[in-house]
Structure 1
Amino acid sequence: MRAKLEVLALVLGFIGLFGTIAITAMPMWRVTAFIGANIIVMEELWEGLWMNCYRQADIKMQCKAYDSLLILPPELQAARALTCVSIVLVVIALCIAGCGTKKSKCCDDNIRSKNITLALGGCLYLLSFLTTLIPVSWVGHTVISNFYNPAVVDSQKRELGEALFIGWATSGILLITGIILLLSFCKRRSEEEEPYADAYLMGSRDIKKEGSVQLERTPSSFHRHQEYV
């Protein structure tokens, strides 16, 4: 059963990797679709981490990469860096967790090394969960705050894009993966300590037997006097 959970964690890890790559590449972080003041012009704008896409009326959508990183708002600048870090963390976590599974032939069947490797993979998954959740939630909070801010003009207001929803789902998958691996590590650790506990108890019993003093019962003087009589 535990081996199946570890395989499930690896599958979820691959899904989390695809999810982080998708949200990093998708231009749909902030989306707007509004009708202009003349009620004729229909505009649609997608803003992502690397480019923005714009379509007006029935014209084919055109995408353009940002000319400079400095023109992005702070939340998108941070999101670009954190999502790239998240991809790297998930890749490393996948490799490490794969070496720590029971069915893996790495570490030359050294149980202790496999346990440490599995725990390290779980911690990296939890760290990638944070690096994915923080930028997605930050951008989502900014979009919602600006949408309900009366000081922001309607043409500057944005809506939540599909990349944000995929990012929240991906962060949840990464969290579940890390928890599964750490629970598997805890169960392995408890099983690893059981033989040592049994050996310690048996050794303590032997020490008590060796150190015990056998006292011989000697008859008292009163008993000898009774026998003499």
Structure 2
Amino acid sequence: IDMDSCGCALELLGMLVYVVGWLCALATALLPQWLTMSTALMPAESYGLGLWETCVVQDLGVMECRSYDSLLGLPGYLKLARVLMCTSLAAGLLGALVAAPGLHLVNSCGAGAGGSRAKGALTATGGVLGVVSGVLCLIPVSHMAHLAVVHFFDDTVPDMVPRWEFGEALFCGWAGGFLLVAAGLLLVSSCWRSRAEPRPAPQGRYRVMSAAEEASSRKRSEYV
């Protein structure tokens, strides 16, 4: 299968960004600092809220975490974030496994036009799954950030009451989501590029046609 270096570079770049984005999404799901809070009464301690546990961090670097006691007792936004993040990780892992055999540097699907179409379909499917995974990662992260902003600027809450602020996991989730979307678009664009690339005509046929045209031109000159 012939493919220019630009198309191969797009595929390799897409897979590299794909892996980095998926690892960022995995770290986002595991980090307990989706939201952080520190109080003026106890400045030596800060609190972190995650999908699976809550943590208390002290200035000395000691962190104590406690898992949630009940799944049914969780707020709705935490349940939704859990489901969407797990679905995002599953879709991203499936997309990477599907797109890897579709790379032109990997020998799979056989040779010929049928093999080229199969590899292109695998690459495109992996790219679409990457975009879906990125969107599913961005939804809970952005929703959690929206809730934090709404509660932070709530006028009904007294000023002395501590408020939740953005944690490291939110920024990691935004980075992972955008990287997954970008990686999916790169893989899909590399597939379109390989399909749109014109194939050169066989040299033998070109020579036969040139000889026939030369003979016809000689005949015309003789008649004249």
Q: Do they fold alike, i.e. is TM over 0.5?
A: yes
Residue 182 (structure 2) aligns with: 176
Shift, 1:57, TM fit: 7.3
1:135-170 CA-to-partner distances (Å, cap 9, x unmatched) read 000000000110000223554520000000011111
CA RMSD of aligned residues (A): 2.1
Residue 140 (structure 1) aligns with: 145
Residue 97 (structure 1) aligns with: 99
Shift, 1:60, TM fit: 3.4
161, 166, 169: which one pairs with 2:172?
166
Residue 128 (structure 2) pairs with residue 123 (structure 1): yes
Structure 1 distance, partners of 2:40, 2:16, is 44
1:69-111 CA-to-partner distances (Å, cap 9, x unmatched) read 2333222211111111111111111111111111111211300
TM-score calculated relative to the size of structure 2? 0.79
Report if aligned partners of 1:35, 1:42 keep a CA contact under 8 Å in 2: no
User: Alignment partner of 1:187: what SS?
Assistant: helix
Pair member with larger Rg: 1
Report if aligned partners of 2:38, 2:162 keep a CA contact under 8 Å in 1: no
The 1:58–1:169 alpha-carbon spacing in structure 2 relative to 1, beyond 3 Å, is: closer
1:14-69 CA-to-partner distances (Å, cap 9, x unmatched) read 10121111001000001001212xxx664311000000002467693310000012
Structure 2 distance, partners of 1:174, 1:25, is 18
The 1:156–1:190 alpha-carbon spacing in structure 2 relative to 1, beyond 3 Å, is: same
Residue 80 (structure 2) aligns with: 78
Report if aligned partners of 1:143, 1:160 keep a CA contact under 8 Å in 2: yes
1:162-204 CA-to-partner distances (Å, cap 9, x unmatched) read 0000111111111110111111111122237998xxxxxxxxx
**Is 122-131 or 102-111 further displaced after alignment?**
102-111
Structure 2 distance, partners of 1:92, 1:57, is 41
Residue 16 (structure 2) pairs with residue 14 (structure 1): no
**Paired residue type of 1:53:** C
Residue 24 (structure 2) pairs with residue 24 (structure 1): no
Unaligned 5+ runs, structure 2: 1-5, 202-224
Report if aligned partners of 1:16, 1:90 keep a CA contact under 8 Å in 2: no
Report if aligned partners of 2:7, 2:193 keep a CA contact under 8 Å in 1: no
The 1:41–1:176 alpha-carbon spacing in structure 2 relative to 1, beyond 3 Å, is: closer
Residue 195 (structure 2) pairs with residue 189 (structure 1): yes
Q: Which has the higher contact order (CA 8 A, sep 6+)?
A: 2
Structure 1 distance, partners of 2:147, 2:188, is 34
Aligned residues: 192
The 1:65–1:192 alpha-carbon spacing in structure 2 relative to 1, beyond 3 Å, is: farther
> What is the percentage of aligned positions where both structures have the same residue?
32
The 1:189–1:57 alpha-carbon spacing in structure 2 relative to 1, beyond 3 Å, is: closer
Residue 3 (structure 2) aligns with: none
Structure 1 distance, partners of 2:123, 2:61, is 52
Structure 2 distance, partners of 1:41, 1:103, is 55
**Paired residue type of 2:183:** T
Unaligned 5+ runs, structure 1: 196-229
